[in-house]
């Protein structure tokens, strides 16, 4: 199989594929189809072949797992090959380091004792308990809306709510090209007509609203407040301003800003919540559990309850996770210095990387990209980094264009200044070695 692919793809593509670009497996299926191989058993054999090759060169990354001794460091291992490294851990979104906070752990343990492990059924058929109701009330208030609806994950909140809201051909959805996969999956599942607009390009959005929106009864615009691959802020004010000329419903995913501001969300910080019809967030990041929530008006909450299959037909979020979320919100409210500490570290790390001349984009958030802009260098630097004890995500082609490949560091309050310094020091050394810093 590999030989057949090699002939068809030519050496370069195969080299990249086998060398370890972590999403190249997606290309294999396309390439297999080009070769006339579409039977999934044959495609699965091809995937497995690529995995075997990548495992030998030590770059297969689908099986990596971590045994974290603390929130920010631990042993990184892989099922596919026998490599283990003590690493500083950078791919985790526990922005406030609350997953080991005693108050949070204690609340989850108590709920486990009181309510047991799972819910056994969906929210619609009685899976929720009083903790879920308490959390929905509190989340609605944090998100600045009348009501909120809990889903078991952020992924299913987006898929469920968007596919339920924008159902059918009377609907049209415009979304930022950099939106998360769960948003795009929800849009595709909805059966609505849809178009991406260029990332953060308000003129492109306005042009598309002008050109297409009038043809549909219901128009939705979907964006993230902070984009997960670049850490960039959405141009929320400009998007809300478009509402004075166009009739659309605005859906904002606050996954990477929820809980990180004294106002709790970026929409609230900017005073825009009233212009936003749906505020969504995941609960797996700052609140360090799992779950998703969509906050909106009472009427739209009822609508989503009735229309979202992910609410109707998916087992509810376990009570221990709900208790952890509530406790995490308590801790965030009672410990304002956590936010100050996080933002001080963000400025420190961003400042140091910028001083080195590294390209870290336009963002200001705890998601810090380091643009490498060359796939081969990204791969080699990533391997060296791992061998020297730094574990982070390579955002590689085809997730982004070759010219936009980058590392992504997610800074958490639990990272120490010493860990930041070690990471920046290594990036300086490798950046000079590979000509990224001149």
Ligand X SMILES: Cc1ncc(COP(=O)(O)O)c(C=O)c1O
Task: List residues binding ligand X (CB under 6 A).
Answer: 153-155, 158, 180, 182, 224, 228, 253, 255, 282, 284, 292
Specify whether the CB–CB gap between 294 and 149 falls below 8 A. yes
Shortest Å, Cβ 346 to ligand X:
17
Q: Report the residue number, 16 or 234, with the smaller CB distance to ligand X.
A: 234
Shortest Å, Cβ 181 to ligand X:
8
Shortest Å, Cβ 285 to ligand X:
7
Specify whether the CB–CB gap between 265 and 258 falls below 8 A. yes
Burial bucket for residue 45 (CB in 10 Å: 0-12, 13-18, 19+): middle
Q: Report the residue number, 255 or 316, with the smaller CB distance to ligand X.
A: 255
Q: Report the residue number, 145 or 352, with the smaller CB distance to ligand X.
A: 145
Count of residues making up the chain: 438
Q: What is the 3-state secondary structure (H, E, C) of 344-403?
A: HHHHHHHHHHHHCCCCCCCCCCCEEEEECCCHHHHHHHHHHHHHCCEECEEECCCCCCHH
- Please name which of 96, 104, 93, 102 lies closest in space to residue 326, comparing C-alpha atoms: 104
Which residue is nearest to ligand X, using beta carbons?
154
Shortest Å, Cβ 93 to ligand X:
6
Q: Report the residue number, 231 or 431, with the smaller CB distance to ligand X.
A: 231
Shortest Å, Cβ 157 to ligand X:
7
Shortest Å, Cβ 361 to ligand X:
16
Q: Report the residue number, 180 or 301, with the smaller CB distance to ligand X.
A: 180
Specify whether the CB–CB gap between 291 and 265 falls below 8 A. no
Shortest Å, Cβ 255 to ligand X:
4
Shortest Å, Cβ 350 to ligand X:
20
Q: What secondary structure does DSSP assign to 1-28, as a single string?
A: -HHHHHHHHHHHHHHHHHHT-TTTHHHH
Angle at 110 between CA 108 and CA 112, to 5 degrees: 70
> Quick one: tokens of 338?
């956590």
Specify whether the CB–CB gap between 209 and 174 falls below 8 A. yes
Q: Report the residue number, 16 or 182, with the smaller CB distance to ligand X.
A: 182
The conformation of residue 95, written as its DSSP 8-state character, comes to T
Q: Report the residue number, 101 or 180, with the smaller CB distance to ligand X.
A: 180
Angle at 173 between CA 410 and CA 23, to 5 degrees: 40
> Is residue 286 classed as helix, strand or coil in its secondary structure?
coil
Shortest Å, Cβ 10 to ligand X:
34
> Quick one: tokens of 360?
């870290």
Q: Report the residue number, 293 or 379, with the smaller CB distance to ligand X.
A: 293
> Quick one: tokens of 131?
């903790």
Shortest Å, Cβ 155 to ligand X:
4
Q: For strand 249-253 and strand 218-224, is the pairing parallel, antiparallel, or unpaired?
A: parallel
d(CA 272, CA 267): 5
Specify whether the CB–CB gap between 72 and 88 falls below 8 A. yes
Q: Report the residue number, 180 or 352, with the smaller CB distance to ligand X.
A: 180
Q: Report the residue number, 91 or 191, with the smaller CB distance to ligand X.
A: 91
């Amino acid at each position: 199989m590999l030989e057949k692919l090699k002939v068809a793809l030519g050496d370069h593509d195969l080299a990249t594929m086998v060398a370890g670009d972590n999403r190249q497996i997606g290309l294999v299926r396309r390439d297999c189809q080009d070769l006339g191989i579409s039977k999934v058993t044959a495609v699965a054999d091809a995937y497995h072949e690529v995995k075997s090759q990548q495992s030998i060169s030590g770059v297969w990354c689908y099986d990596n797992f971590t045994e974290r001794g603390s929130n920010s460091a631990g042993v990184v291992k892989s099922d596919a090959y026998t490599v283990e490294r003590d690493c500083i851990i950078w791919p985790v979104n526990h922005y406030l380091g609350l997953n080991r906070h005693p108050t949070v752990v204690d609340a989850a343990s108590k709920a486990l004792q009181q309510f047991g492990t799972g819910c056994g059924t969906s929210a619609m058929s009685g899976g929720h308990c009083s903790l879920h109701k308490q959390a929905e009330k509190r989340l609605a208030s944090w998100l600045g809306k009348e009501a909120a609806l809990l889903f078991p994950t952020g992924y299913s909140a987006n898929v469920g709510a968007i596919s339920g809201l924008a159902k059918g051909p009377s609907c049209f959805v415009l979304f930022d090209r950099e939106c998360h996969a769960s948003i795009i999956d929800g849009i595709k599942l909805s059966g609505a007509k849809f178009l991406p607009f260029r990332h953060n390009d308000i003129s492109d959005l306005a042009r598309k609203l002008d050109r297409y929106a009038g043809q549909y009864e219901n128009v939705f615009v979907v964006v993230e407040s902070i984009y997960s691959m670049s850490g960039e802020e959405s141009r929320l004010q400009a998007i809300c301003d478009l509402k004075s000329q166009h009739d659309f419903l605005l859906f904002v995913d606050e996954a990477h800003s929820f809980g990180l501001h004294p106002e709790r969300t970026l929409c609230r910080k900017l005073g825009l919540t009233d212009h936003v019809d749906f505020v969504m967030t995941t609960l797996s990041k700052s609140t360090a559990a799992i779950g998703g929530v969509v906050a909106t008006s009472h009427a739209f909450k009822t609508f989503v309850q009735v229309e979202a299959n992910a609410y109707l037909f998916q087992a509810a979020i376990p009570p221990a996770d709900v208790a952890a979320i509530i406790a995490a919100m308590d801790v965030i409210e009672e410990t304002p210095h956590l936010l100050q500490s996080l933002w001080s570290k963000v400025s420190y790390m961003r400042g140091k990387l910028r001083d080195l001349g590294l390209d870290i984009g336009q963002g200001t958030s705890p998601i810090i990209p380091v643009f490498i802009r060359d796939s081969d260098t990204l791969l080699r630097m990533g391997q060296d980094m791992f061998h020297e004890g730094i574990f982070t995500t390579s955002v590689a082609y085809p997730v982004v264009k070759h010219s936009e490949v980058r590392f992504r560091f997610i800074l958490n309050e639990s990272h120490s200044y010493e860990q930041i310094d070690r990471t920046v020091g290594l990036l300086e050394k490798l950046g000079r070695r590979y000509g990224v810093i001149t």
